[in-house]
């Protein structure tokens, strides 16, 4: 093989070479078929490197390269898919013939299907399933659904932008703009699941359970007996429960709609999909409880192997990845309380005081596992309030002094302000008063946060609302202070340098914009978690039926 094509790194160098077409075209077609010590051709290396432009030139000069396999007998198309080169996969697939005959085995097609799913290239995977029915058996055996179960983002529907939707609402006639894109991942699930449903119950169960892992489990042999261990298979990758843990609601609803008895299935910990959803804080999956009628009253009574009911699981602290969905430790504590209160309202009263294997009730377990989070939330709240109160106190001092030191001073004869008849003076007085009052209100809110009792219930509504009002009042005080400052320049510089007040007004807007940019994220999170939490559960739109 020519040394220009000996490794993927050299392809990266060749890609930046302006004369790449001349370099490749100068070689004989037979030269391009040569393989390196790993049995890879130039096209195989280009596929691994993802250099589409070079691949186009190579295929144009020698189309046979598409069928010459590289290391481990992998085709260039499969190599590109395994390396996750999306653009290269799309190009090579478009150039590949019908993938029939001896050059393409069913096993390789199945491997390509899984590689495309793992690389989020669902259009190619769907095309493979639709045109090569022979790989459906491999798709079920290799559990492509288990890969999709971990990808809830794959099922997000691509809709028209707000602009096009608004335009279609206003204008009569046929819809205009790009159409809503069909969810290709969901179509893949439907095709594979239809094939699975044709199998017997045992085979379906094996596919849903997924491959087992052998672990050693301690066997209780009594106080005097030596500890014994026995090997036991567990199924960490159970399809339904992996989907529930990742919040893949679309996949779960597709499975349950065609096989309703899956609602009753338990995992290795004797937990239903709803128990798993609560444990991993997946509200979209949990909300399916509201669609199964009286069944929920039975499902919520199930206990796992540690005698934990569903309320115990709501009382447990979730993984950090789930907590970090909400910014701010205090708001994370609020979200945890919302979850606990929601599940508490769902279960029977007897479950609220039921003890688990460790002898703890759900309230006791919640307090124990959330003690550190609550302490951190208290520190975060007090630190935030202290910093904001310093700014609010400074604004109050400035605006109070400005109320008695008016621009232009007072008339020595009657003591009236010199500019009292000008509109800019009224703007100054009003905004000064608003800034003073709002900064004072902000101080009171932040003071209330600093002196709060910091019980668990305070994090649910009291503290977030106080923080929200304090931040809003502080923003109003800063904005009105800048307006008052700008109005004073319009009063003083009425003659000569008339451009100066406009310049100052523009510059005065920068602190307001800066404050919004720095604190809007926090303010938005407080508002969202406090007021939109009522829509977190019990959604209006049904998913199952």
Residues 243-267: tens digit of each pLDDT: 999 999 999 999 898 888 889 888 8
pLDDT of residue 268: 84
pLDDT digits (tens, 9 = 90+) for 208-227: 766 555 555 555 555 555 55
Sign, Cα dihedral of 355, 356, 358, 363 = negative
What is the architecture of the domain spanning 1-96?
Alpha Horseshoe (1.25)
Q: Cα separations (Å) of 16 from 6, 19, 32, 51, 117?
A: 16, 9, 20, 10, 30
* pLDDT above 80: residue 55: yes
- Residue 32's pLDDT is what? 80
pLDDT for residue 407: 67
Residues with Cβ within 8 Å of 192's Cβ and at least 6 positions away in sequence, in order, are 129, 136, 139, 140, 144, 145
Q: Which residue has the higher pLDDT, 194 or 512?
A: 194
Share of the chain above pLDDT 70, in %: 77
Mean predicted confidence (pLDDT) in 205-210: 72
CB-based contact 371:315 (threshold 8 Å): no
Q: How confident is the model at residue 117 (pLDDT cuts 50, 70, 90)?
A: very high
- Give the separation between CA 230 and CA 154, rounded to whole angstroms: 40
What ranges in 347-422 are assigned the alpha helix state H?
Answer: 362-369, 371-402
- pLDDT mean over 118-130: 91
pLDDT band at residue 79 using 50, 70 and 90 as cut-offs: very high
Identify whether the C-beta of residue 543 lies closer than 8 Å to the C-beta of residue 253. yes
pLDDT in tens, 503-534: 777 777 777 788 777 777 788 888 888 777 66
Task: Give the CA angle between residues 266, 271, 276 to the nearest 5°.
Answer: 115
Tokens of 342: 């929601």
As given in the structure block, the two tokens for residue 142 are 């290799």
pLDDT mean across residues, the chain: 82
| Residue 182: predicted pLDDT | 72
Q: What is the pLDDT at residue 489?
A: 76
Say whether pLDDT at 16 is over 80. Answer: no
Among 337, 267, 272, smallest CA distance to 301 is for: 272
Q: Write out the two tokens for 523.
A: 């303010």
In this prediction, residue 248 carries a pLDDT of 94
pLDDT at residue number 139: 66
**Is-contact 81 50, C-beta < 8 A?**
no
Question: Is residue 22 very low, low, confident or very high in pLDDT (cuts 50, 70, 90)?
Answer: low
For 449-483, the pLDDT digits (tens) are 999 999 999 999 899 999 999 999 999 998 898 88
Distance CA 39, CA 71 (A): 5
**pLDDT (0 to 100) of residue 261:** 87
Sign of the four-CA dihedral 398, 403, 408, 411:
negative
Burial class (CB in 10 A: 0-12, 13-18, 19+), 89: buried
Of 384, 457, 322, nearest to 392 by C-alpha is 384
Give the C-alpha separation, 221 to 217, whole Å: 12
Rg (CA), the chain: 33
Residue 466: CB atoms within 10 Å: 21
Q: CA quadruple 335, 338, 340, 346: dihedral positive or negative?
A: negative
Residue 283 vs residue 487, higher pLDDT: 283
**pLDDT tens per residue across span 352-373:** 999 999 999 999 999 999 999 9
Q: Which pLDDT score is estimated for 15?
A: 54
Structure tokens at 465: 């609302």
What would the mean pLDDT of 179-204 be, rounded to a whole number?
82
- Give 181's pLDDT tier (boundaries 50, 70, 90): low
Q: How far apart are CA 245 and CA 275, in angstroms?
A: 10
Of residues 218 and 107, the one with the higher pLDDT is 107
Q: What average pLDDT does range 186-211 have in this prediction?
A: 81
- More confident call, 17 vs 294: 294
Please state, in angstroms and rounded to a whole number, the distance separating the CA atoms of residues 3 and 180: 48
Contact 272, 308 (CB under 8 A): no
The larger pLDDT score, comparing residue 149 to residue 423, is at 149
What is the 3 state secondary structure string of 283-325?
HHHHHHHHHCCCHHHHHCCCCCCCCCCHHHHHHCCCCHHHHCC
Higher pLDDT, 25 or 154: 154
The predicted pLDDT at position 20 comes to: 58
Question: Residue 120: how many CA atoms within 13 Å on its side-chain side?
Answer: 9
């Amino acid at each position: 093989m020519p040394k220009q094509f000996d490794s993927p790194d050299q392809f990266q160098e060749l890609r930046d070479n302006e004369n790449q077409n001349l370099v490749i075209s100068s070689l004989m077609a037979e030269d391009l078929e040569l393989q390196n010590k790993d049995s890879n051709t130039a096209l195989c290396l280009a596929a691994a490197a993802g250099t589409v432009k070079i691949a186009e030139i190579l295929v144009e000069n020698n189309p046979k390269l598409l069928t010459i396999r590289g290391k481990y007998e992998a085709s260039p198309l499969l190599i590109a898919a395994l390396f996750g080169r999306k653009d290269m996969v799309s190009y090579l697939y478009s150039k590949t013939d019908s993938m029939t005959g001896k050059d393409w085995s069913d096993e390789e097609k199945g491997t390509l299907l899984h590689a495309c799913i793992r690389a989020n290239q669902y259009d190619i995977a769907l095309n493979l399933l639709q045109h090569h029915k022979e790989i459906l058996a491999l798709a079920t055996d290799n559990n492509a659904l288990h890969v999709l179960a971990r990808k809830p983002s794959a099922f997000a529907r691509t809709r028209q932008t707000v602009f096009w939707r608004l335009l279609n609402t206003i204008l009569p006639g046929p819809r205009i703009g790009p159409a809503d894109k069909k969810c290709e991942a969901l179509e893949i699930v439907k095709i594979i699941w239809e094939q699975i449903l044709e199998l017997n119950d045992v085979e379906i169960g094996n596919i849903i359970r997924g491959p087992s892992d052998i672990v050693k489990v301690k066997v209780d042999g009594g106080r005097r007996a030596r500890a014994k261990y026995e090997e036991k298979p567990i199924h960490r990758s159970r399809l339904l429960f992996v989907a529930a843990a990742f919040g893949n609601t679309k996949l779960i609803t597709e499975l349950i709609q065609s096989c309703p008895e899956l609602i009753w299935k338990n995992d290795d910990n004797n937990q239903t999909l709803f128990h798993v959803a609560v444990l991993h804080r997946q509200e979209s999956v949990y909300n399916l409880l509201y669609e199964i009628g009286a069944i929920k009253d039975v499902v919520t009574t199930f206990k796992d192997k540690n005698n934990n009911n569903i309320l115990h699981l709501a009382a447990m602290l979730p993984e950090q990845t789930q907590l970090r969905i909400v910014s701010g430790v205090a708001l994370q504590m609020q979200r945890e309380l919302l979850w606990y209160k929601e599940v508490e309202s769902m279960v029977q009263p007897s479950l609220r005081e039921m003890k688990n294997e460790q002898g703890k009730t759900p309230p006791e377990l919640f307090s124990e596992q959330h003690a550190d989070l609550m302490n951190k939330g208290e520190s975060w709240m007090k630190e935030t309030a202290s910093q904001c109160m310093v700014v609010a106190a400074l604004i109050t001092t400035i605006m109070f002094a400005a109320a008695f030191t008016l621009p232009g001073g007072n008339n020595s004869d009657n003591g009236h302000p010199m500019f009292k008849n000008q509109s800019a003076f009224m703007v100054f007085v009003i905004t000064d008063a608003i800034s003073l009052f709002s900064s004072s209100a902000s101080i009171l809110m932040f003071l209330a946060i600093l002196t709060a009792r910091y019980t668990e219930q305070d994090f649910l509504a009291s503290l977030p609302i106080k923080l929200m009002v304090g931040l809003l009042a502080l923003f109003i005080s800063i904005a009105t202070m800048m307006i008052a400052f700008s109005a004073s320049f319009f009063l003083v510089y009425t003659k000569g340098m008339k451009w100066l007040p406009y310049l100052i007004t523009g510059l005065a807007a920068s602190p307001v914009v800066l404050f919004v940019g720095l604190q809007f994220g926090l303010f938005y999170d407080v508002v969202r978690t406090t007021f939109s939490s009522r829509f977190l559960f019990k959604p209006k739109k049904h998913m199952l039926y």
